[in-house]
Structure 1
Amino acid sequence: KNAFKSLFVDFLVATKSHSKGLKKVIEQIKKQERQTAKYTLCKKQLEAHGPALVICTNQRPTQAIAPILAAQDLGIPTAIFIFSWDNLPKATMVLETDYYFVWSDYMKTELQRYYPRIKDTQIFVTGTPQFEPHFDDTSIESRAAFCKKHRLDVAKKYICFSGDDVTTSPDDPQYLEDTAKAIRALNESGQNLGLIFRRCPVDFSDRYDATIHRYADIIKPIAPAWKPLGEVWNQVFPTREDMALLANTARHSELVINLGSSMVFDFVAHQKPCAFIHYDVSDKKQPDWSVEKIYQYVHFRSMPTKEAVLWINQPSEIGEIIKQAISLPKTTVGEAENWFKVINLLPPEKSSERIWEAIQKITSCTSDS
């Protein structure tokens, strides 16, 4: 079965990898979708409720084709929000809608580069709401309250290690251990540091357990407050509580360490630096995996300069990087802020308002026509 799928995909790539071929594939997808029970159900629901607009907050799931297509067949305007900064260069956009909400002018250019059929009038540059909690002081707790809630030592300075999913970083447990080992050495030389471990919200594995146990005096896990609504990674969703949790973690940590994550933007919102892991471990879980693969992804080209983050090129550098980040925290913050300006429209705390204004504009045009 899998072999047949691979051969069929190879056939499509060979025969349809041009604009006319892609158009035929899309038309065929729509034709097949209109014959499904889900499409029929979605169309009945939309006819019954008559919404002014149908929005999808993710441009990739095939499950969304039926409701979007049903809405379009009924003349109801549709829109999607490009939900992550790396989505456009890393994945095909499954859904075709009437309107698109994007993070920035940079993302708008990307969208039209990959999908030149999309016109300027279809795109609204809104920014993303995911960073708004960082600019809401009402969600920020005092350091004492944050430490008490999560059983942290208020006298310690904390480094945040932000985990990646197993596909992006199969050797993440070793990176966590290298960081914990460096912090233990710093403490033995007179520092008073701790390590907050925030795992990737969709990583439910036990792969970190042994490291956390070995370095229980250093590592303090604070689990993301995401809510699973299914069994797979794309059925786990953030809660309002987690937005505040992440904002407070960034506010009360000295820096964040991770492998190429957008957490750099969460932390720069609090004027905190980020260090990117940039080395392969000696005993790799997957021999053909490398950090170089991660940093060659197209979305990293949005980085104005390499000085937007600190680079950890080998385990022996972690201690010095941490000391530098604590003593000179602003070294990379200015360039990181410039990077943030590229990938997200400012002011970031107004993204939801801009999305609502775009919705009002779309629906008012529809009602007037």
Structure 2
Amino acid sequence: MSKNKIFILLPDGIGLRNFAYSGFYNHASEQGLDVVFWNNTPFPIADLGFSEIPMKNAKINPWTDIYKNVKIQTEIKLNIKRTKDNVYNSYRFPFSYSTIKKTAKSLLVQSLSLFYFSDNGLLKIRKKMNKAERKTAYYQDCIETLKKEKPEFVFCTNQRPVLAIAPILAAQDLGIPTATFIFSWDNLPKATMVIETDYYFVWSDFMKKELLFYYPNIKETQVFVTGTPQFESHFDKSKILSKEVFFEQYDLDKNKKYICYSGDDVTTCPDDPKYLEDVAIAVRELNKKGDSLGIIFRRCPVDFSGRFDKVIDNYKDVIKAINPLWEKIKEEWNTILPTQEDIHLQMNTIEHTELVVNLGSSMIFDYASFKKPCVYLNYDVANKIDKNWSVSKIYNFVHFRSMPNKKTVIWLNNAKEIEDKIKLGLQESFETVENAKNWFEIINQHPPEDSSKRICKTIQTILAN
């Protein structure tokens, strides 16, 4: 019996980890799916032994990006109107006026978003965006590829990129069913849905409710809860190195216990270097009192800046930087690509550290997978780099409202209590870990190691019907 050919659309590098580096390809093959990666990333999928078709002439209509930004502004304003909640304003990116061209674009987006501020206006903007993309040579190339290859399903790994619009429209215009995966736990309140597909794959029942709330034009029968492959690797213990090998490989002190400081990008946390310094000072003090601790600093994979260098150098007695193994192809953040090696590095970093300290990231779920606690930074430093930034802005984001209770993490409410909270995390963290696991179950369908299987099974179900 011939297998059903499906295209896995990679409009950018975001989907590599979930669908190229996970067990997805093997599970798909086992379930009778012939997977072909429709690849718009610089990474050669064929090197992994997978079938791929590189995309050609992937260039959007100049108006598409303007319409996308109008759509985002309109959705955010409609969400505020619908909920009477101004938190959605915090999801706006500031307009740029640094050049004449950027000023003109910013003013145009603001004007159009005022003009189209209604549900009907939003529908018109979506139609304009699709009409613009159908005029591109890129769209025609997608049509030709699909006619030649004849896939039975097109699955997009990320709902955000404008470069996904043309191939999805081409598939729909040819009568090929389409789906997209919502790639991150915080995406839906941010108005990041750029493409419209026939089906939507989400992490959890919680995310399904979000999707139907923010996009009432989507029907419940179009949405499938599958979980995300993002955490699958944590349950493959064959990739775990022994402590001796890992410590030797990264020049760690075998007599120390390590905690992980997981960094953020500069936009999310401009004061991250100061927070790292505060934790390093506390660890130093604990060591003076008889502990033997160290910090493994894992920077945000898309942060290649030197902003942490001074702190790392000043506290090299306690901080060991182990950088993520991502490849920087271009300057844009979405062209910084994950590697399979980094998945293994992250797993082993979690395995060989006692807890993680960070500012509100999903690393809590990575550590929960290893039954280890998470410490959330929850105070503003004295001399903030950006006076308008605050941790309160981060924890006010909608996705944190899914946290079952405040004891899901260990909160660092000021620098003076870091010592005590680290000791707490090292000694008495059972309740915190259990609550984190409960939050993980709310956020992501369990068991998490079966997400790829569920996605493949769902695709088969759609094709059968």
Instruction: Describe the superposition over 1:246-268 as per-residue Cα deviations: whole angstroms up to 9, x where unpaired.
Output: 12111211110000000000001
Aligned partner letter, 1:161: Y
Aligned partner letter, 1:34: R
1:1-369 to 2 correspondence within 5 Å?
Answer: 1-365=101-465
Indicate the SS of the match to 1:331: helix
Gaps of 5+ in 1: none
Distance 2:347 2:168 in 1: 34
Distance 1:313 1:42 in 2: 52
Higher alpha-carbon deviation: 2-11 or 337-346: 2-11
Indicate the SS of the match to 2:246: helix
Instruction: Describe the superposition over 1:333-365 as per-residue Cα deviations: whole angstroms up to 9, x where unpaired.
Output: 111111101000000000010011112122333
Aligned partner letter, 2:205: D
Instruction: Describe the superposition over 1:247-292 as per-residue Cα deviations: whole angstroms up to 9, x where unpaired.
Output: 2111211110000000000001111110100111111111111111
Aligned partner letter, 1:218: V
Distance 1:204 1:224 in 2: 10
Instruction: Describe the superposition over 1:288-320 as per-residue Cα deviations: whole angstroms up to 9, x where unpaired.
Output: 111111111001001011110011011111111
Higher alpha-carbon deviation: 303-312 or 116-125: 116-125
Identity of aligned residues (%): 57
| Structure 1 position 240, deviation (Å) | 2.1
TM-score for both structures, normalised by structure 1: 0.96
| Structure 1 position 78, deviation (Å) | 1.1
Distance 2:140 2:273 in 1: 47
Distance 1:110 1:125 in 2: 12
Distance 2:337 2:156 in 1: 14
Aligned partner letter, 2:407: E
| Structure 1 position 91, deviation (Å) | 3.1
| Structure 1 position 141, deviation (Å) | 1.8
| Structure 1 position 145, deviation (Å) | 1.8
Distance 1:2 1:142 in 2: 52
Distance 2:426 2:299 in 1: 23
Distance 2:226 2:103 in 1: 42
TM-score for both structures, normalised by structure 2: 0.77
Aligned partner letter, 1:284: K
- Cα RMSD of the aligned pairs, angstroms, is 1.2
Aligned partner letter, 1:286: D
Indicate the SS of the match to 1:117: coil
Distance 2:273 2:396 in 1: 22
Indicate the SS of the match to 2:441: helix
Distance 2:173 2:300 in 1: 39
Gaps of 5+ in 2: 1-100
Indicate the SS of the match to 2:295: strand
Instruction: Describe the superposition over 1:205-239 as per-residue Cα deviations: whole angstroms up to 9, x where unpaired.
Output: 01001111111111111111223343311122322
Distance 2:154 2:304 in 1: 32
Distance 1:27 1:331 in 2: 50
Distance 2:298 2:327 in 1: 15
Distance 1:116 1:306 in 2: 31
Aligned partner letter, 1:256: V
Aligned partner letter, 1:212: I
| Structure 1 position 47, deviation (Å) | 1.2
| Structure 1 position 149, deviation (Å) | 1.6
Q: Which 4+ stretches in 1 moved above 4 angstroms?
A: none
Distance 1:197 1:90 in 2: 29
| Structure 1 position 34, deviation (Å) | 0.7
Distance 1:141 1:12 in 2: 55
Distance 1:274 1:175 in 2: 15
Distance 2:345 2:408 in 1: 24
